[in-house]
Amino acid sequence: MNSKVYIETFGCQMNVADTERAVTGLRKAGYEMTSLPNEADVVLLNTCSVRERAERKVFRRVSELRKSPRHPVIGVMGCVAQLEGSSIFQRASAVDLVIGTQATDRIPSLLARIRDGEESVLDLDERQEGEVWDVSPAERRSPYVAFVPIIEGCNKFCSFCIVPYSRGREKSRGANEIVAEVQQLRSLGYKEVQLIGQNVNSYRPKTEDGLEGYAGATAFSRLLRAVAETGIERIKFTTSFPRDFHPDIVSAIEEYPNLCNWVHLPVQSGSDRMLKAMRRGHTSADYLRRVEIIKSSSRSLALTSDIIVGFPGESEQDFADTMKLVRDCEFDGLFIFKYSKRSRTPAANFDDAVSESDKTARFLALEELQIELQDKTYNRQVGRALSVLVEKQSARSNEDVSGHSTCNKVVNFKGNTTQRGSIVDVLISEAKPNSLYGTAISG
Ligand code: 5AD
Ligand code: SF4
């Protein structure tokens, strides 16, 4: 009997949530989990394919694992599994099992088939009726912060992005189920939930069950209010899509203190020509209008974003437009990516690739600008008191603890690990490049 399972997770929070769900099902089926790949009988790699580099990593890991003396059963799950399907068996013969993104609940039965002697087991099917999102609290990554998926997949088909192919069409969870999960998490002592999805604000459940009685211009803003009413201390949500970002989201945040003051709103480019080629469905002016609404909120909301540099056809002028937009937005945080060609996406057939050296130069120029701007936004926090959820001991000093503010910044301060899981007001005294430092004034 294959009894011990090790799972390695790459990529986004959705993969982290899927791993938690997979572990829940495996334990129910009698498997033990291990954190040591060398003692595992089954190794599962939960993979990401958003950029080519992430995808290559999977195959490197498989060839390392193949050499492990224990010869574990090797399974590939997640986005690479869904996209590459049976070709994974050809490319990496050590792989026994390919588990698509909607087959998470079926892993125990797929492993049983391997145990029964079947080779090369593949499941790329859709989720089946009755497979509800079930994560045992014991399997969650943190005892204080829980990811709660509210929508899976994406219908937007931005021309560079593989997600609509790897995760399928948008499917929203029922609001009743989400609210019940948050209530359960609250009663277990969780302090923060992060509502996650590729585009949370495209949330569109089949029925209004659980949302009746909540005001709100969109199903998502009604859901925010319903989740806020559970009384859980902190609620964050990510990722938001500009076209669907309704001002009522900001109104909901202003009404409920437990809705945190942070919005992650990827723009991808500051050039309208590029935004059109990316098929984003918004212009830079549309984006800036959203930013204006977010920034003029009485809650002083933090704003973070994603940008791709070197999309096919991006000229120096297009890139200058991106630099200008970034300067105008003064993001609290920015994830910068060099464009990576993903086969099957429309952009894979676009001409006019930007050279690697130009991509790198633009990446570095944008990064330098962001560092300069972030220094300003972080220094603005000095002298303010931020509410911080203490998560762990700081990596830098034994005397410091570390956590996130409601505006999702890393904050370190003098404290001890008995404070883990508590929410402490911290007076900020110093801004560092990606974190803040301060002194506890409560808790
Ligand atoms: N190349 C580079 N970056 C990409 N992203 C998505 N697809 C690609 C790609 N093909 C980035 C986007 C997205 C983030 C999660 O990953 O910026 O918002
Ligand atoms: Fe990808 Fe665009 Fe969907 Fe985001 S909105 S997941 S970038 S296709």
In order along its 443 residues, the chain shows pLDDT tens digits of: 558 999 999 999 999 999 999 999 999 999 999 999 999 999 999 999 998 888 888 999 999 998 888 889 999 999 999 999 999 999 999 999 999 999 999 999 999 999 999 999 999 998 887 777 778 877 888 999 999 999 999 999 999 999 999 999 999 999 999 999 999 999 999 999 999 999 999 999 999 999 999 999 999 999 999 999 999 999 999 999 999 999 999 999 999 999 999 999 999 999 999 999 999 999 999 999 999 999 999 999 999 999 999 999 999 999 999 999 999 999 999 999 999 999 999 999 999 999 999 999 999 999 999 999 999 999 999 999 999 999 999 988 889 999 999 999 999 999 998 999 999 999 999 999 999 999 999 86
Give the mutation target among 159, 161, 340 for probing the ligand 2 site: most ligand atoms within 8 A of CB: 161
Give the mutation target among 12, 156, 238, 245 for probing the ligand 2 site: most ligand atoms within 8 A of CB: 156
The ligand whose atoms approach the alpha carbon of 49 most closely is: 1
- Kindly give, in sequence order, each residue whose CB lies less than 8 Å from that of residue 113, ignoring residues fewer than 6 positions away: 121
Q: What is the CATH number of the domain that holds 182?
A: 3.80.30.20
What is the structure's pLDDT at 443?
Answer: 66
What is the structure's pLDDT at 67?
Answer: 86
Contact 426, 390 (CB under 8 A): no
For residue 193, the one-letter residue type is: V
Residues 87 and 226 in one domain: no
What is the structure's pLDDT at 163?
Answer: 94
Give the mutation target among 154, 162, 244, 339 for probing the ligand 2 site: most ligand atoms within 8 A of CB: 154
Distance of CA 180 to the CA centre of its chain: 22
Q: What is the CATH number of the domain that holds 71?
A: 3.40.50.12160
Percent helix, strand and coil across the chain, each to the nearest 5: 35, 20, 40
List ligand 1's pocket residues with C-beta within 6 A: 50-51, 160-161, 266, 268, 306, 308, 337, 339-340, 342
Whole-angstrom CA distances from 428 to 16, 380, 411, 425, 441 are: 31, 10, 8, 9, 10
The residue from 362, 379, 396 where one domain ends is: 379
Q: Within a domain: residue 352?
A: yes
Residue listed under structure tokens 């762990």: 392
Residues 370 and 416 in one domain: no
Q: How remote is the CA of residue 272 from the centroid of ligand 2, in Å?
A: 17
Q: Torsions phi, psi of 311, nearest 5?
A: -65, 150
For residue 284, which of 326, 338, 222, 237 has the smallest C-alpha distance?
326
Nearest 5 degrees, angle CA 46-CA 4-CA 73?
A: 60
The ligand whose atoms approach the alpha carbon of 156 most closely is: 2
For residue 28, the one-letter residue type is: K
Q: Within a domain: residue 105?
A: yes
Q: Within a domain: residue 48?
A: yes
- Kindly give, in sequence order, each residue whose CB lies less than 8 Å from that of residue 71, ignoring residues fewer than 6 positions away: none
Q: Within a domain: residue 192?
A: yes
Residues 80 and 150 in one domain: no
Q: Within a domain: residue 261?
A: yes
Domain extent for 108: 4-123
What is the structure's pLDDT at 136?
Answer: 81
Query: Per residue in 283-294, is it b (16+ CB within 10 Å) or e — as a string?
Result: ebebbbebbebb
The residue from 331, 352, 379 where one domain ends is: 379
Contact 159, 391 (CB under 8 A): no
Q: Within a domain: residue 411?
A: yes
Residues 309 and 393 in one domain: no
Nearest 5 degrees, angle CA 228-CA 229-CA 233?
A: 55
Contact 233, 191 (CB under 8 A): yes
Cα–Cα distance between 241 and 232 in angstroms, integer? Answer: 25
Residues 232 and 276 in one domain: yes
CA atoms within 13 A on the CB side of 162: 22
The ligand whose atoms approach the alpha carbon of 166 most closely is: 2
Distance of CA 437 to the CA centre of its chain: 25
Say how many domains are in the chain: 3
Q: Torsions phi, psi of 191, nearest 5?
A: -100, -25
The residue from 123, 147, 166 where one domain ends is: 123
Atom of ligand 1 nearest to the CA of 347: 10
Contact 399, 424 (CB under 8 A): no
Residues 337 and 427 in one domain: no
Q: What is the CATH number of the domain that holds 411?
A: 2.40.50.140
Atom of ligand 1 nearest to the CA of 268: 17
3-state secondary structure (DSSP) of residue 122 = strand
Distance of CA 277 to the CA centre of its chain: 25
Cα–Cα distance between 195 and 72 in angstroms, integer? Answer: 35
Q: Within a domain: residue 98?
A: yes
The ligand whose atoms approach the alpha carbon of 279 most closely is: 2
Cα–Cα distance between 326 and 311 in angstroms, integer? Answer: 17
Residues 313 and 410 in one domain: no
Q: Within a domain: residue 269?
A: yes
